[in-house]
Amino acid sequence: MARIAIVTNADWYFWSHRLPIASAALERGHEVFVVAGEERGLGERIRAAGFEFLPIPVERGSMRLAGELTMLRELRQIYRRIRPQLVHHIAVKPVIHGGIAARLEKVPAVINALAGQGHVSGAHGLRGLLLRSAVMLAYRAAFGGRRTRAIFQNPEDLEFFVSRGVVRRSRTVLIRGSGVDLETFAAVPEPPGVPAIVFASRLLKSKGVGELVEACGRLHANSTACRLLIAGEPDTANPDAIPQTLLQSWVEQGSVEWLGRRDDMPAVLAAANIVALPSRYGEGVPKILIEAAAAGRAIVTTDSPGCREIVRDGVNGRLVPRGDVASLTSALAELLADPALRARMGQAGRALVAAEFSEQLVVRRTMELYDELLAEHAHEVPS
């Protein structure tokens, strides 16, 4: 069996998004190392689950040269020490630094998985142009090894990287999202009372939190009864974070009910009538939307890459233009006024997840890729 390293930004992201994949690899007899920033102190929990946990310094939301070089050096040292047969990098910084480190250390098999393009895709002005140019150069270095495969979560991202010559199409794989356990996210009846709109994601400006608060304000002004529940916490490592003071002012004004960070998403979704994510962020396929569809909830989100993978307009939710508060308000008003429509959309969403977005499907396709790469390089001796 092989030594496999799964590398991502943060311990909490691994636990919430990639634990099923790591567990499947462990069940196959592989030795699995989890390499991540220890943001929430989950190292012991990860070790207790049977993995070797190796913390690394990750400066999320920062491009400080010293921090970037430190992360690259740490990953090289880890790969040199544990000698993995396969590394699976997830998210922008692990892909860039890990991809380069893996090439330098001649790791036999490398998977670079991008869960969207992140905040870089939305950077504006000269600084944004320079940042995107620098990141694309780094991607070319990370993706250029002949031993690599690239996983994308939506076809737009895949085409973007192929068309710019960052990765060959033959080395790409489309696996849409992180999957969801349909038993954990059971479809339950909507709660009674004033309809609740739930937003559950990182509290970033680019996730559309401000637009959603404004839309709900317009609904209230038109005497449309609704509650806005926000689950999450400010991501202080991200320059795009919603300030704590702004969030608190919304609460004090009665605009939102802030639930804080929640780890019991099935219960949060059971309290929802509608789930909204008016994102302008460079999404992969948002896990919260997959979970919402699995839980049988109608969704309102933006007509943008990743979001439109899981939401089909008029089928299991509504798609609105990014940044268009009027369209967002109208879509929410339509669903708030029609419980039968919400129920039909919820049923359609759950059927869509079962067919195309289940955790079992994501794990199976990822294990097939592991098997393919490990078999391909089984007899390859690093030079």
What is the tens place of the pLDDT at every residue in 92-128? 999 999 999 999 999 999 999 998 776 555 555 666 5
Give the per-residue pLDDT at 325. Answer: 98
Give the per-residue pLDDT at 147. Answer: 79
**What are φ and ψ of residue 210, in 5° steps?**
-60, -45
Give the per-residue pLDDT at 145. Answer: 73
Q: Which of 110-119, 160-169, 280-289 has the lowest mean pLDDT?
A: 110-119
How does residue 61 score in pLDDT terms, banded at 50, 70 and 90? low
User: What average pLDDT is seen over the chain?
Assistant: 92
pLDDT at 383 over 50: no
**What are φ and ψ of residue 348, in 5° steps?**
-65, -40
Predicted structure pTM score: 0.91
CA gap 91, 115 in Å, rounded = 6
Task: Tell me the average pLDDT across 3-31.
Answer: 97
> What token pair was written down for 123?
């950077």
| Top-confidence residue, 138 or 314 | 314
CA gap 86, 145 in Å, rounded = 13
> What token pair was written down for 61?
């939301």
Domain borders along the chain are 3-179+359-376, 196-356
**For the segment 232-257, what is each residue's pLDDT rounded down to a tens digit?**
988 877 888 999 999 999 999 999 99
pLDDT at 46 over 80: yes
User: Hey, which bits of the chain come out as E strands?
Assistant: 3-10, 31-37, 52-55, 86-90, 109-114, 148-152, 172-174, 196-200, 227-231, 257-260, 274-277, 298-302, 317-320
**For the segment 170-215, what is each residue's pLDDT rounded down to a tens digit?**
999 999 999 999 999 999 999 999 999 999 999 999 999 999 999 9
CA gap 200, 218 in Å, rounded = 21
CA gap 116, 283 in Å, rounded = 4
Local structure of 217: helix, strand or coil: helix
Q: Is the dihedral of CA 160, 97, 359, 206 positive or negative?
A: negative
> What token pair was written down for 163?
């068309």
Give the per-residue pLDDT at 137. Answer: 87
How does residue 276 score in pLDDT terms, banded at 50, 70 and 90? very high
Q: Of 249, 185, 194, which is closest to residue 220 (Cα–Cα)?
A: 194
Give the per-residue pLDDT at 59. Answer: 79
Q: Of 292, 256, 132, 281, which is closest to residue 202 (Cα–Cα)?
A: 281
**For the segment 323-380, what is each residue's pLDDT rounded down to a tens digit?**
999 999 999 999 999 999 999 999 999 999 999 999 999 999 999 999 999 998 775 5
How does residue 136 score in pLDDT terms, banded at 50, 70 and 90? confident
CA gap 106, 109 in Å, rounded = 9
Would 3-179+359-376 and 196-356 be classified into the same CATH topology?
yes
Task: Tell me the average pLDDT across 273-279.
Answer: 98
How does residue 227 score in pLDDT terms, banded at 50, 70 and 90? very high
Give the per-residue pLDDT at 382. Answer: 45
How does residue 219 score in pLDDT terms, banded at 50, 70 and 90? very high
CATH class, domain 3-179+359-376, is: alpha beta
298-336 burial: b if 16+ Cβ within 10 Å, else e: bbbbbebbbbbbbbbeeebbbbbebebbebbbbbbbebb
Q: Of 320, 353, 348, 352, which is closest to residue 334 (Cα–Cα)?
A: 320
Residues of the chain with pLDDT > 70, as a percent, come to 93
CATH class, domain 196-356, is: alpha beta
How does residue 76 score in pLDDT terms, banded at 50, 70 and 90? very high
Task: Tell me the average pLDDT across 269-274.
Answer: 98
Give the per-residue pLDDT at 161. Answer: 93
pLDDT at 129 over 80: no
Q: Which of 6-15, 57-66, 197-206 has the lowest mean pLDDT?
A: 57-66
CA gap 363, 358 in Å, rounded = 9
Q: Which of 56-70, 195-209, 210-224 has the lowest mean pLDDT?
A: 56-70
What H or E segment, with its residue span, contains residue 270?
Answer: helix 265-270
